[in-house]
Amino acid sequence: MTAPLRQMDHHGHDHGHDHAGEHVAHAGTGGRKGLLLALSITLFMMIAEIVGGILSNSLALLSDAGHMFIDTLALALSFFAMKFADMPATDKKTYGFYRLEILAALLNGVILVLISLFIIYEAYQRILSPPMVQGALMLIVAVIGLIVNIIGALFLVKHRHSTLNIRSAFLHIIGDAVSSVGVIIGGVVISYTGWFLIDPVLSILIALGIIAGSYSLVTESVNILLESAPSHINIESVAAEIATVNGVREAYHVHIWTITSGVYALSAHVIIDDMPVSGSRELLKDIQHRLAERFKILHSTIQFECERCVESGICPLPDDVKNHR
C-alpha cells in the first residue's frame, strides 16, 4: 500500500477551471452570433415551407418544414444553453453549467429521430395512396429553402468544431439543405412526369438521412453524460506520458472525462520519488503542462503518493490503515 505524500486537488482544480472558462467563452462569442442569425432565417423559412407545403399538397415539403420547425427549436435551445453555460460556477454547481450544452445536443438528436420516424410513417401512408402534388410550387419553395440553408450554414461553418452544441446546430442546417435538394428533385420529376409517388419516397430518404446524422450526435452526448473517456484519448497513453515526467515513477487509477465540448478533466494517483513538498509542487506543474500540451486536458486532480517514504518512516501510516494491510 502506498501513503499519500500530498494531495494537490485544490491547485489542479483552480488551474483547470480557469482554462475551461476561457475555452467556452472563446467558442461561444462567434458561435452565439452565428446561432442567432441561423435561427432567424430558419424561422422565416419554416413558415414559408409550411404555407408552400399546404398549398402544393407536398409531404416532402411539409416534412422539410417539420424538420425546419425542429431546427428552429434546436437552434433556440442551443443558443440559450450557450448563454447559461457562461454562468459562473457555484458551491452546488462546481463545474458551472457547461453540461446544459450537452443536454441540449442530446435533446436535439432525440427529437430529430422521433420526427423522422413520424415522417416515415406518413410517407408509408402516401405510398399506399399517392395524392396529387403541385410540383411547380413545391420546386419554387424548395429552391428558396436551399438558398436560406446555405446562408445559415455559412454563419456556423467556422465554429462547427468548437462545441458539440454548435456542431448539432450545423448538422441541423446541413440536414435541411440536403432535404431541400431532395425536394427540388421531386418537384422537377413531378412537374415533367406527373409521378407523384416520388414525393413520399423522397420523404423516407430524407428521414433516414436525418436519423443517420443524428446517431453520432446522440451517442456522443450520451457518452459525455456517462463520463466515458473521450474517444480520441487513450488512458494508457496518458498514464505512460505522466510516467515519463522526471520524478514520476507510475500513474494509476487514471480517470478522464469530458465536462463540455473540448474541455476534458482528469483524476489520477501518481507515485513519485521521495522529495520535499516544494519539489512536488513543481512536479505537478510539469505534469499539468504535459497533459495540456499532449492531450488538451486542462483540468486535472492529482494525488501524489510515495512508497519509499513509508518504509523510511518519514510518512508513517495511520494505525487504522496499518491494521488493514
Q: Which pTM does this prediction carry?
A: 0.63
CA pair distance 144, 259, nearest whole angstrom = 39
* Mean pLDDT of all residues in 16-21: 44
Q: Where residue 255 falls among pLDDT bands split at 50, 70, 90?
A: very high
Q: How many domains does the chain have?
A: 2
Task: Name which of 84-88, 117-121, 124-128, 285-289 the model is least confident about.
Answer: 84-88
Q: What is the CATH number of the domain that holds 112?
A: 1.20.1510.10
**Among 170, 204, 225, which residue terminates a domain?**
225
Q: Is residue 20 part of a domain?
A: no
Q: Is the pLDDT of residue 72 over 50?
A: yes
pLDDT of residue 226 exceeding 60, the answer is yes
The enclosing H or E element of 310 equals helix 308-312
**Sign of the C-alpha dihedral computed for residues 93, 96, 97 and 101 taken in this order:** negative
Over 70: is that where the pLDDT of 297 sits? yes
**Lowest-pLDDT range of 33-42, 62-71, 192-201:** 62-71
Closest CA to 261 of 141, 162, 177: 162
Handedness of CA 226, 230, 233, 234 (dihedral sign): positive
Question: Are 264 and 185 within one domain?
Answer: no
pLDDT in tens, 154-212: 877 776 666 666 777 777 777 777 777 877 888 888 888 888 888 788 878 878 877 87
State the cell numbers at 112: 430529430
CATH of the domain at 249: 3.30.70.1350
Residue 275 placed within a domain: yes
Domain boundary among 179, 207, 225: 225
Q: Is residue 256 part of a domain?
A: yes
Residue 288, pLDDT score:
93
- Looking at the structure, tell me whether residues 54 and 148 fall in a common domain: yes
Confidence class for position 245, pLDDT limits 50, 70, 90? very high
Helix (H) or strand (E) holding 119: helix 99-128
The answer, yes or no, to whether residue 138 has pLDDT greater than 60, is yes
Residue 21: pLDDT over 50: no
Sheet with strand 297-306: strands edge to edge: 3-7, 297-306, 263-272, 248-260
148/219 same-domain check: yes
**Domain assignment present for 267:** yes
Domain that holds residue 276: 3-13+230-322
Specify whether 189 is located in the same domain as 243: no
Last residue of a domain, one of 225, 254, 278: 225
In a domain, 170, yes or no: yes
